[in-house]
Amino acid sequence: MSPKERIFVLVLIVFVVLHLDLWGWGRIEPMLFGWIPYHIWYHGLLTLSVALCMVWLVVWVWPKDSSKF
Amino acid sequence: MTEITADVLAIAGIYLVALLVIGWWSYRKTLPTPEDFFMAGRAFGPVVLIFAVYATNMTAFYMLGTPGNAYRQGIGTYGYIAFASALVIPAMFYLIGYRAWRVGKRYGYMTPSELLGARYESPAVALVLFVLLVFYTVPYIVTSVIGAGLALESLAKIPYLWGAVSVLLITMLYTVFGGMRGTAWTSVFQGLVFIVVGLLAFVLIANALGGFTAITQRVYAERPELLQRTGNFDPKDWFSFLFIAPLAVIAFPHVFMRILTGRSERTLKALTVVYPLLFLLTWPPVIYIGLWGSVVIPGLDARSSDAILPMMIARFLPPAMLGLGLAAIWAAIMSTLDAMMLTLSTMLTRDLLGRFFPGYMREKGREVVLGRIFIVLIALLALVGAVIRPGTIYDIAKFAFTGYSLTVPAMLAGFYWKRSTAWGILASLVIPNLLLPFYYFTPYLSWSTFGFLPVVPLLVFSLVLLVFVSLWTRPPSEQTVQRFFNPRL
């Protein structure tokens, strides 16, 4: 595994910790627009962050030299 | 037959005919060679690959099991399943899928068994992996067919078996004729159908219930516990689930094979970036419909609640939408069913017959003919399973997904650890899979979970076995290892 890939795996672990969000386990409020409770908007933002992380993956981590990993 | 039933069947009928047309078109484009029938010449661009993989990934579990879970356990279903998938699946597309794609393109591998068997110079590894993947794919096929029957029953009040048989028959036909090209292009169509209809149902049902705020506030007033996770989810279970469905996806042979059909690295990159966004777009709508159902159609038991999405469509949407709703549910189901049937057929043809009867299979055209025959046989087996109906969609899927996840250490070792050996892989595959039924059907090993789902201790055990046994046994030749670590394209 390349050093860049190791960094990528560490970033994934950070996302796992954020996903566990024990601090918000029982939260409902604040409810955005009256119908989006905490869990949905928090994890929705996390999902967008994951997509950005994948952009970073293909731009920075993905091997430039296609003959090697 | 009521007017509503006739409308539903008419729209669903148009949808099924469209699939047959795509299947026929694909048949005309497909050469009768294994590379073209089973792999469509590995020529899919970004749009087809994204839809082929995503639609294959989405099934009865998405359209029925998930809203059913939201009905019972609430809004946390999004994080539990959708976010976990949006994080882990694209990561695995890169960490395992990209490497598999490279060696597949370079050396012509089609199935996980072929690939891993070659990596370890071991027919035993190929055979064990083949047996496990077939064993876990069959119940997964059954969940799809059950879902198809439930959908027709809920939306058109037609007996369950009619839906199961119709879906199986049409899927079998376009898969037999169109092969991988047929299943991928129908996935593009099916993906568009279930995404558009899902979003439409979300908006229209909310509108029928007084608006997003009104109905969600009603849930807040009557069932507030469903808008958060305490009492509905356990943190250890939450963490564990990352290693079931999300991790298992790369090990699904039908997803694995689709990744190998990508035309270029650019195609794989597009898949990796877009995938999380698809979850954000398509999962909240079906979860909310299940959540709203908890106050609008209360009191359903676990098995019945799997049908909450079609029930809500039937109760609140105009007749024309019922047909579209059925088409959407069938689209999500059939886009996986066709992939699994084709994949099992490929594996039976190449991993079983090709390995044990190579001379017989070398005859021109034979592989494709037998592949088509296997698709028919698999359809018949699926029908038997749908008649028996052994459990809820969710329970069946969880067992199968755990089994798939247990093959991931072997895949990771294959691409990241040169020192891993065939005996290490065999130990990591066989022993945990023998223990799996004890975890799910007996209480004898529950002490070892420490509150986590069985997949966690089993994965740890699998990794320990893989490392320990590998260090005591001989690795494959340096030449073979280099083929897999530096496959020049």
Tell me the domain boundaries of chain B: 3-392
Q: Is 50 exceeded by the pLDDT of residue B476?
A: yes
Burial grade of A17 (CB within 10 A; 0-12, 13-18, 19 or more): exposed
Burial grade of B387 (CB within 10 A; 0-12, 13-18, 19 or more): middle
Contact A57 B220 (CB under 8 A): no
DSSP H or E stretch at residue B415: helix B408-416
For chain B, give the mean pLDDT.
Answer: 90
Decide if B124 contacts B426 (C-beta within 8 A).
yes
The band of B444, judged by pLDDT with boundaries at 50, 70 and 90, is confident
**Between B287 and B444, residue with greater pLDDT:** B287
Nearest-angstrom CA–CA distance, A15 and A28: 21
Largest CA distance in chain B: 70
Q: Is 90 exceeded by the pLDDT of residue B443?
A: no
The answer to whether B269 contacts chain A (CB < 8 Å) is yes
What ipTM did this prediction achieve?
A: 0.94
The answer to whether A38 contacts chain B (CB < 8 Å) is yes
Most confident of A54-68, B147-161, B210-224, B330-344: B210-224
DSSP H or E stretch at residue B263: none
Residue B352: Cβ within 10 Å count: 18
Question: Shortest Cα distance from A19 to chain B (angstroms)?
Answer: 7
Question: Shortest Cα distance from A64 to chain B (angstroms)?
Answer: 11
Contact B217 A1 (CB under 8 A): no
> What is the reported pLDDT for B187?
94
The β-bridge partners of B262 are: B44
pTM of the model: 0.90
* Average pLDDT score over residue span B174-188: 93
Which residues contact residue B375 at a Cβ distance below 8 angstroms, ignoring those fewer than 6 apart? B172, B175, B176, B341, B342, B345
The answer to whether B203 contacts chain A (CB < 8 Å) is no
Name the CATH topology of B3-392: Sodium/glucose cotransporter (1.20.1730)
Contact A16 B87 (CB under 8 A): yes
Burial grade of B395 (CB within 10 A; 0-12, 13-18, 19 or more): middle
Taking alpha carbons only, the member of A4, A31, A11 closest to residue B75 is A31
Q: Is 60 exceeded by the pLDDT of residue B149?
A: yes
Decide if B134 contacts B111 (C-beta within 8 A).
no
Q: Is 70 exceeded by the pLDDT of residue A68?
A: no
Contact A51 B276 (CB under 8 A): yes
For chain A, give the mean pLDDT.
Answer: 92
> What is the reported pLDDT for B452?
84
In this structure, what token pair is assigned to residue B258? 């689709």
> What is the reported pLDDT for B15?
92
In this structure, what token pair is assigned to residue B92? 């695995």
> What is the reported pLDDT for B394?
60
Taking alpha carbons only, the member of B138, B141, B166 closest to residue B152 is B166
Q: Is 50 exceeded by the pLDDT of residue B102?
A: yes
In this structure, what token pair is assigned to residue A66? 């296609």
Contact B90 A54 (CB under 8 A): yes
In order of A11, B240, B242, B455, B461, the CA distances from A16 in angstroms are: 9, 11, 9, 17, 21
The rounded percent of chain B whose pLDDT value lies above 90 is 60
CA angle, A24 then B89 then A20, to 5°: 15
> What is the reported pLDDT for B388?
83
Residue written as token pair 């043809």 = B349
> What is the reported pLDDT for B182?
93
Which chain A residue is nearest to residue B206, measuring alpha carbons? A35
* Average pLDDT score over residue span B350-355: 86
Residue written as token pair 């329970």 = B395
Residue B182: Cβ within 10 Å count: 28
Taking alpha carbons only, the member of B157, B268, B288 closest to residue B226 is B288
* Average pLDDT score over residue span B350-369: 85
> What is the reported pLDDT for A69?
46
Decide if B294 contacts B134 (C-beta within 8 A).
no
Give the nearest partner residue to A68 out of B230, B275, B486, using CB atoms.
B486
Q: Is 90 exceeded by the pLDDT of residue A17?
A: yes
**Between B158 and B98, residue with greater pLDDT:** B98
* Average pLDDT score over residue span A15-32: 94
The answer to whether B79 contacts chain A (CB < 8 Å) is yes
The answer to whether B243 contacts chain A (CB < 8 Å) is no
Question: Shortest Cα distance from B195 to chain A (angstroms)?
Answer: 18
The rounded percent of chain A whose pLDDT value lies above 70 is 93
The band of B486, judged by pLDDT with boundaries at 50, 70 and 90, is confident
> What is the reported pLDDT for B145?
86
**3-state SS assignment for residue B140:** helix
Which chain A residue is nearest to residue B281, measuring alpha carbons? A44
DSSP H or E stretch at residue A22: none
Decide if B332 contacts B59 (C-beta within 8 A).
yes
Tell me which amino acid residue A65 is.
D
**3-state SS assignment for residue B262:** strand
> What is the reported pLDDT for A26?
93
In order of B29, B65, B407, B461, the CA distances from B259 in angstroms are: 21, 25, 17, 28
Q: Is 60 exceeded by the pLDDT of residue B1?
A: no
